[in-house]
Chain A
């Protein structure tokens, strides 16, 4: 039993770490194809990671320890989150007991805090600008993340993400309940913001919308490589939570060796999510920078209003 759990743990962890860049590559490639461009290879994120690994690390003069170690801390935080939420295997694995839903949300917040602290610690005005922009939006996104998790906890009467997944997979009617539908919409809006997709596009290199890229602007070499890799992991984890807890909780196997089927199932689920994201990215226009707050206020409204409605209705 212990060996099976170990195999499941390793499968989930290495799937997240190794496959996360691939999904980012597929999104970029598919988006280019829709826009009638040839686009980068789906393996481009891997090439980037290896290229940066070989480059020399340059540390800005005056930067502190947080700046130097933040990419390692971020990679560690996302690695831990990858082990506590059902993003590949629907059965508890090692480290699952480390945190519940709220703990997962707090770990995401911790990662955002470390990233912002590192940006300030670089002593660069440009990265500080990106950090300040991120802070002016994060107060709404973090609140949405926590209330969305409260909503799913209320539906299932548990704060354990694995129990939630299993409950939603076995109770179809709960998936069309009011609080679940609007928590799903709020989380999807949050997913688009956190991963920097249009209509927000916080990760682009356009000067005015430069939020995420602005914060990691001073990184180079191995540190940049790790920072980018963490970004891909964050995208995968958020997307997989959206798929397995909110949108399509069905289809995952926990038996041995049936759980190996979870890998192609997750791949297919992700292809569906990528198709939705690409449709949104290629049909909507980019929002102006200070409209991002309106967008996040809407997602926060969805999450908290229907949380309150669900309490009243219950």
Chain B
């Protein structure tokens, strides 16, 4: 691997770590900041790839990620966090067990994907074989686990952003550029700004629905 490959591997690894950071937080504002860091890392990877491949499209994608996720969504989520302490703090977060379950979830998920899907499909990424896809995949499972393990709508939206970040990262390593930009902007505007703003205002927490029990 060339030094630039090493650099991209390391930066992508920090995206996974930011996922663990978000998973371990109890305060919503810390999770929002974690999301900001994660989006900035993905924007940075896009800039590096733009420089590496001399691609204007990737540069535009990087600027879009930095603006839409790094600034706009963070600003929007930060404004929506209620001022009262009871709302911004999510109780019953056992960091040690959450991290370990998250770890097990990621490992099992990645193992299944690599052993079943990737062995039959011979994927070739921008960094040679499909090994670098381990980072977006781990980020994807982290997002899923964050949605499943928390009750506050904010945490679940941040989990969704993590999943979307993972898809952008996945696409950065695999898919031609124009489609990513279109899909990314579409998802950002529709899902994050429109739907999540309604969700946060209408329903702050999610609990099991007793009414549906037989």
Are B106 and A313 in contact, with the CB atoms below 8 A? Answer: no
Q: Which residue of chain A has its CB nearest to the CB of B21? A: A298
CB distance from B100 to the nearest CB of A (A): 6
Report the count of interface residues on B (CB-CB < 8 A). Answer: 23
Are B131 and A312 in contact, with the CB atoms below 8 A? Answer: yes
Q: Give 1 or 0 for each of B51-87: 1 = CB within 8 Å of chain A CB.
A: 0000000000000000000000000000000000000
Are B114 and A312 in contact, with the CB atoms below 8 A? Answer: yes
Q: Is A297 an interface residue (CB 8 A)?
A: yes
Q: Give 1 or 0 for each of A159-186: 1 = CB within 8 Å of chain B CB.
A: 0000000000000010011100110000
Are A304 and B103 in contact, with the CB atoms below 8 A? Answer: yes
CB contact between A294 and one of B9, B24, B131, B134 (< 8 Å): that residue: B24
CB distance from B5 to the nearest CB of A (A): 10
Q: Which residue of chain A has its CB nearest to the CB of B7? A: A176
Q: Which residue of chain A has its CB nearest to the CB of B6? A: A176
Bound form: Cα–Cα A298–B138 in Å: 16
Q: Which residue of chain A has its CB nearest to the CB of B16? A: A305
A291 partner residues in chain B, CB cutoff 8 A: 95
Bound form: Cα–Cα A38–B79 in Å: 48
Q: Is A232 an interface residue (CB 8 A)?
A: no
CB contact between B95 and one of A173, A181, A294 (< 8 Å): that residue: A294
B10 partner residues in chain A, CB cutoff 8 A: 176, 178, 181
A236 partner residues in chain B, CB cutoff 8 A: none
Bound form: Cα–Cα A297–B103 in Å: 10
Report the count of interface residues on A (CB-CB < 8 A). Answer: 23
Q: Which of A289-308 contact B (CB under 8 A)?
A: 291, 293-294, 296-298, 300-301, 304-306, 308
Are A177 and B6 in contact, with the CB atoms below 8 A? Answer: yes
Q: Is B99 an interface residue (CB 8 A)?
A: yes
Bound form: Cα–Cα A293–B24 in Å: 12
Q: Which of B1-39 contact A (CB under 8 A)?
A: 6, 9-10, 13, 16, 20, 24
A313 partner residues in chain B, CB cutoff 8 A: 9, 131-132, 134
What 10 additional pairs, Cβ within 8 angstroms, besides A298-B99, A313-B132?
A173-B6, A176-B10, A293-B95, A297-B99, A301-B100, A305-B103, A308-B107, A312-B114, A313-B9, A313-B131
A sample of 18 cross-chain residue pairs with beta-carbon separation below 8 angstroms, ordered by A number, consists of A140-B96, A176-B10, A178-B10, A291-B95, A293-B95, A296-B96, A298-B99, A300-B100, A301-B20, A304-B107, A305-B106, A305-B107, A305-B138, A308-B107, A309-B13, A312-B131, A312-B134, A314-B131
Question: Chain A residues in contact with chain B, CB under 8 A?
Answer: 140, 173, 176-178, 181-182, 291, 293-294, 296-298, 300-301, 304-306, 308-309, 312-314
